[in-house]
């Protein structure tokens, strides 16, 4: 045996092929490709947040700001802006204070 046969070869490093895991974006793309046009039509559309707000204020007891925040995930200033938008659409919204000092938003009864 010669010295070159027993000595490790310099410059050669064994590495395993790295396989990158699926990124979130590629997983999302794969899921979207699985949906066919028919299944997309059958999917129920999610309600928009102003629609959620309107549904809550239509209740007989109305809705507190905390109720609206929990239902939409919005901050108070965003909910007040949405209420303003609903008012501009001609929806009569009443604002009252309850005995605890909380503001209650209600749909006003049409006369």
Split at pLDDT 50, 70, 90, the class of 45 is confident
Split at pLDDT 50, 70, 90, the class of 46 is confident
Lowest mean pLDDT among 32-36, 60-64, 77-81, 88-92: 32-36
CATH number for the domain running over 49-107: 1.10.10.10
Residue owning tokens 């507190």: 64
54 contacts 90 by C-beta, under 8 angstroms = no
What is the per-residue pLDDT for 109? 77
State the Cα–Cα distance between residues 103 and 65, nearest whole angstrom: 7
What is the per-residue pLDDT for 95? 94
Strand order in the sheet with 93-97: 63-64, 103-107, 93-97
What is the per-residue pLDDT for 44? 73
Angstrom distances, CA of residue 40 to CA of 24, 26, 87: 21, 19, 33
Consecutive H or E run containing 105: strand 103-107
What is the per-residue pLDDT for 34? 66
State the Cα–Cα distance between residues 71 and 63, nearest whole angstrom: 10
């Amino acid at each position: 045996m010669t010295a070159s046969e027993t000595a490790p070869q310099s410059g050669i490093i064994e590495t395993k092929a790295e396989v990158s895991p699926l990124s979130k974006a590629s997983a999302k793309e794969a899921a979207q490709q699985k949906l066919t046009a028919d299944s997309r039509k059958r999917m129920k559309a999610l309600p928009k947040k102003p629609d959620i707000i309107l549904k809550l204020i239509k209740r007989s007891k109305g809705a507190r700001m905390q109720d609206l925040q929990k239902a939409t995930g919005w901050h108070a200033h965003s909910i007040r802006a949405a209420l303003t938008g609903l008012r501009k659409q001609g929806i009569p919204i009443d604002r009252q204070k309850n005995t605890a000092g909380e503001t209650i938003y209600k749909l006003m009864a049409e006369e």
